[in-house]
Amino acid sequence: MNAAVQILDAIRSGKGTASKKDIKEATGLAWGTMCKGVDMLLARGYVLALREKPNGRGRPTVPLCINGDAAYYVGLDIGAAHTRAVVCNLSFQTVFMNETDTAFYTDAASFFDRLRALVESAITQARIERAKLRGIGVSVSGNVDFEGGVLVSARNFGIPWGADLPLAEKLGAAFGVPIYAMTTQAAASAAEYHFGEMAGCPNLLTVGLGVGIGSGVVSEGQLLISRPERPVGYIGHMLISGNENVCTCGFRGCLEAYSGGASLARVAKEKFPRRKDFTDAHAMDVLADEGDRDAMQILDTAASYNAAGIASMIQLYMPEAVVFGGGQCRADGYLYQKTIAGVQKILPRERLAHIKIGITTLGKYQSALGAARLVYEQEFGENKK
Ligand SMILES: [Zn+2]
């Protein structure tokens, strides 16, 4: 990781007490490199030196802290159902958050108009100085070319393959700051790795159970980034034997073509046309919890498909933690509990003994937070082409 980002992380976790010696220990950087980095950050006003503390007979130590108000980052997460925006300061405190429905895609012009208005309103309502805005991170539930900053497709809300929407170019021109685009699950994994309950866990898997089924991977401390032609953690499109449903991607049998929130409602309608109360995945989850046999039947199959996909991801990446998120995840919900039970049935107990499994503590702004974090890393030269 970039030295400046490492130094800032060390200072941030020191909570106002980190000295140069502490930073050297935490980062493992050479003394000279670390001092150069700290000086640069002090000169830019990103870091403040606090009053010297006497240190016995040695030289007094100077505690360093982050100047939270020195820079701000917007994180925008365009999910299949909702679009969420956060504004974070340099201390990564969230100073603003907002949620709206994701509009079904009609054309590029209105898509960009809407995004610009969302960012504009976030900046205004957060009451930050415009000159202090340093970047906008955008995560999308779709295929993203992060190098070009292009949204290739997002079929869950109507953007067809090859639409190639120039996110970085359009938002960059409107706001005059760097734009970094990524997939929702890459952002979710970044958020968990830096801010979640399992922060710092070098091998981490995130699973999003929502309108689609997504997953993201941190392996040996490295966030694995998807390219449109070579996606990573493409769990939703794992082909599940016995699943005959056709996916938005065109294949038959993809996991999310059954277990995705939108698919579940469709499957239920076909199987139980008289059940008017099967309005969406959430309604079925509640009914299944109450013992409704039809709802249980639909969700049992969904859970078994989820479990097959998640167990395969665990076998592939050997994570120490699996963090769930997304609209279909309720800690005591029927589908979530059944999915976990399914994973536990497939994998041997010895393997599971070393894996922590739980629901994100970051809530529904998880990916927006991750998007803000990733554009912040970009400012110092991370994840560049
Ligand atoms: Zn598919």
Cα of 249 from ligand 1 centre, angstroms: 4
Q: Phi and psi for 339 in degrees, rounded to 5?
A: -65, -45
CA of 306 to the centre of ligand 1 (A): 14
Dist. CA 258–CA 239, nearest whole Å = 11
Q: Match 């907002």 to its residue by tokens.
A: 98
The model's confidence at residue 341, banded by pLDDT at 50, 70 and 90, is very high
CA 151 / ligand 1 centre spacing (Å) = 18
d(CA 93, ligand 1 centre) in Å: 36
| Dihedral pair phi/psi, residue 313, rounded to 5° | -60, -40
pLDDT (tens digit per residue) in 58-81: 667 788 999 999 999 999 999 989
3-state secondary structure of 378: helix
CATH architecture label of 200-361: 2-Layer Sandwich (3.30)
* Topology alike, domains 3-66 and 200-361: no
* Helices and strands (H, E) in the chain, number of each type: 13, 15
pLDDT, one tens digit per residue, over 217-268 is 999 999 999 888 888 888 999 999 999 999 988 899 999 999 999 899 999 9
Give buried/exposed letters for 55-74 (b at 16+ CB in 10 A, else e).
eeeeeebebbbbbbebbbbb
Q: Spell out the domain ranges in the chain.
A: 3-66, 71-189+366-379, 200-361
Query: Residue 47: how many CA atoms within 13 Å on its side-chain side?
Result: 30
Q: If you classify domain 3-66 with CATH, what class do you get?
A: mainly alpha
CATH number of 71-189+366-379: 3.30.420.40
The overall average pLDDT reported for the chain is: 93
What separation in Å is there between the alpha carbon of 57 and the centre of ligand 1? 66
Confidence category of residue 385, pLDDT binned at 50, 70, 90: very low
Q: What is the pLDDT of residues 194-224, one digit of tens each?
A: 999 999 999 999 999 998 999 999 999 999 9
How high is the pLDDT of residue 362? 96
Q: Can you give the pLDDT at residue 231? A: 84
The pLDDT, as a whole number, for residue 384 is 43
Report CA(141)–ligand 1 centroid distance (Å): 13
User: Is pLDDT of 383 > 60?
Assistant: no
* pLDDT bucket at 183, cuts 50 / 70 / 90: very high
| pLDDT at position 343 over 70 | yes
Tell me how far the alpha carbon of residue 251 lies from the centroid of ligand 1, in angstroms.
5
> In whole angstroms, what is the distance from residue 150 CA to residue 148 CA?
5
pTM: 0.93
Task: Quick: pLDDT tens for 286-323.
Answer: 999 999 999 999 999 999 999 999 999 999 999 999 99
